Amino acid sequence: MIKITLPDNSVREFDAAVTGMEVAESISSRLAKDVLSVSVDGVVWDLTRKIDHDAKVKLHTWDDREGKDTFWHSSAHLMAEAIESFYPGTKFGIGPTVDTGFYYDVDLPEGKTISDKDLEKIEKKMLELARQKNDIVRSEISKNDAMNMFTEKDDELKQELISELEDGTITLYNQGNFTDLCRGPHLPNTSYIKAIKLTSIAGAYWRGNEHNKMLTRIYGVTFPKQKMLDEYLVMMEEAKKRDHRKIGKEMQLFTFSENVGQGLPLWLPKGAQLREQLETFLKKVQKKYGYEQVITPHIGDVKLYKTSGHFQKYGKDSFQPITTPAEGEEYLLKPMNCPHHCEIYKAWPRSYKDLPIRMAEFGTVYRYEMSGELHGLTRVRGFTQDDAHLFCRPDQVKDEFKKVIDIIFIIFKALSFENYTAQISLRDPEKPEKYIGTPENWDKAEQAIIEACEEKGLNTVTELGEAAFYGPKLDFMIKDALGRSWQLGTVQVDYNLPERFELEYIGADDKRHRPVMIHRAPFGSMERFVAVLIEHTAGKFPLWLTPEQVVVLPISEKYNDYAKKVSEVLNISDIRTVVDDRNEKIGRKIRDNELKRIPYLLIVGEKEAEEETVSVRRQGEGDKGTMRINEFAEFIANEVREQLSGLYN
């Protein structure tokens, strides 16, 4: 008798080993039609794989990330089969899923190339193969047999991957005429894949190493219904218009330079102004909640990050240590701010009366991301976190955690992020080796987060295995104007770094105690947050935030002096104003400045100069009438006050 425990803790009993599909069929025929994969004790399996022991089971559909990953991973294999049919002798690297689909890195036979015009024929072949309803079959072989198999195929890419695997059983997946090295999971058969779009081609060094061979990377996306693909393509067209790289260039917010280095953004004056507004806004909110600003260096002794555990965990993803020739010291570009804040806490003795201590810093950190993974501001090598660390007594943890949630809600309200999910990210109990610290401390940290969310009335989802290596966390997943999900805002409870850094305070009992640490970054990173904000608003930021709030447009050169006078008056009133005094017709000036997404356009000519007024146009709304300069200044101030109403109080 096999007992299957479902997420609602209900138990279903089966006489013998059972597949995930059979579990789904026992619940409802509708679910069996929609299910794509199954988690067995937290590990995602094929639906056709037999479960021969009592297990906790969760069924995944298209609505689940695990379901999409299974669907897209199978699609990558289907694409590989289609490519091999056109280009026999192709060698296959890796074909993982990504946020919006999948890719496969391939090494084509000598003299062969794939261009954009070839993608359509590959799509058609994929659909043909999908309609054959070929079973996707998992098999197990020895490492030696797998090596022999791919040696016979003359695929040195797979041979390299196999050589790095531990001795023992290796899994293969086969559909139709294609067999691939893979751990899975996969769909039961190819017919689930109904709609296909191969989206782009790029070059990619094998395993991200520029010293290796350049492969061809083909990206694609698939869906279980044609309608879903049609909707996706419409959304992608809109996404192109909102691409933060395109809008950032148009608005002159940031740029990149090969001479500076890949993944290292340069903030232009308007972008710097935008960041300054965001920082000023958050600093005001933090001041209300009792935070104090600190500043830490961009580098630190390697010993610091070994103490924290970051070096052991992220050392391979960091820039390698800098060695001082004279004294042989080793320094690392700062990968995280928290170890530095622990050292600030240790600078002098602390009493229980001093706690909580709330340190905040807009601290720049550095991670070595592979060049192929870099993408505008969303994936960079140097970024600034709106970081803060709270050191508190155990009895203060829950209240402090709830106050951080309040700060995140203030930010979401100010920037109109209304659609979000709160995700409680816990450790994977099946993989204790991934985490530092004692189970007892983890239990306390996880319980504090769960209770805080319940008391705040948050609608949450829980994800096992998504915790940081040092503590559980609460992640806020927001949906932008196009319905895309982004992780913004994170709060973590940490009993472990205080242990590793031997942080203490003297309690009311005159004994030494360990504080608890809360990590908090509402924006996450300034770079990624700005990218998401650009795409969410299409560059039309709220008035309080936009780098240039007003542009004055003189009808002709005769009124340039008056335009400058208007600008000076408004700038004195802290209204960010510029003058467009180009020798262009007024219609051209209006069009150009609307493309720059400046909220207010003030047109001035003879009448306005004589009456000391401005003719007001609102971005997207047209003519708003004529106002005196001071009247307009108050009008702007009122709009800003209304947008920020109640946020600082």
Whether the pLDDT of residue 326 is over 90: the answer is: no
Per residue in 368-417, pLDDT tens? 887 777 889 999 999 999 999 999 999 999 999 999 999 999 999 899 88
With contact defined as beta carbons under 8 Å apart, do 437 and 495 qualify?
Answer: yes
Q: Which of 213-217, 355-359, 522-526, 642-646 has the highest mean pLDDT?
A: 355-359
Per residue in 460-503, pLDDT tens? 888 888 888 878 889 998 888 888 888 888 898 888 899 999 99
List of residues 6+ apart from 641 with CB closer than 8 A:
none
Place of tokens 């070595």: 368
Per residue in 30-70, pLDDT tens? 999 999 999 998 889 999 999 999 999 999 999 998 999 99
**Residues assigned a catalytic role:** 338, 367, 385, 387, 389, 473, 519
Q: What is the predicted pLDDT for the residue at 442? A: 86
The verdict on whether residue 60 carries a ligand-binding annotation is no
The verdict on whether residue 340 carries a ligand-binding annotation is no
Which among 276, 484, 286 is positioned nearest to 378, based on CA atoms? 484
Among 93-102, 312-321, 563-572, the range scoring the smallest mean pLDDT is: 312-321
φ/ψ of residue 44, rounded to 5? -80, 130
The verdict on whether residue 310 carries a ligand-binding annotation is no
With contact defined as beta carbons under 8 Å apart, do 541 and 514 qualify?
Answer: no
> What is the SS3 assignment for 529?
helix
Whether the pLDDT of residue 576 is over 90: the answer is: yes
Average pLDDT over residues 445-457: 89
Per residue in 108-139, pLDDT tens? 998 899 999 999 999 999 999 999 999 999 99
Q: How many helices (H) and strands (E) in the chain?
A: 20, 35
> For 216, what's the count of Cα atoms within 13 Å in the CB-facing half-sphere?
21
Domains and CATH numbers, the chain: 2-61 (3.10.20.30), 66-230 (3.30.980.10), 266-296+337-537 (3.30.930.10), 297-334 (no CATH), 550-643 (3.40.50.800)
Q: What is the predicted pLDDT for the residue at 648? A: 64
Per residue in 403-425, pLDDT tens? 999 999 999 989 988 888 889 98
